[in-house]
Amino acid sequence: MGITEILFLVGAAAGLGAMLLVFQLFTASMPFTKNSKIILAVLVILTVGSLAVGSYLRSGDIKQ
């Protein structure tokens, strides 16, 4: 495993952990409103997007 792969895995784990933490804070602090659903959707999209970008960069590293 290269350094980039380790950093990618750490970043992905941190992103998922942060998303779960925010999700728990939202569900504990208030019922589901329209705003919280939008915020959660944005978080999910950002996490999936960062994972996709990370895997794309990682595949570029492997080809070199």
All structural domains of the chain with their residue ranges: 27-64
The whole-number pLDDT of residue 53 equals 78
In the block, tokens 């208030």 appear at 30
9 phi, psi to nearest 5 deg:
-65, -40
Give me 5's structure tokens: 């792969």
Report d(CA 23, CA 46) in Å as an integer: 14
Report d(CA 42, CA 26) in Å as an integer: 14
The whole-number pLDDT of residue 54 equals 76
Mean pLDDT of 33-48: 76
Mean pLDDT of 11-20: 79
The whole-number pLDDT of residue 9 equals 77
Report d(CA 18, CA 26) in Å as an integer: 12
Checking if the pLDDT of 64 tops 60, the result is no
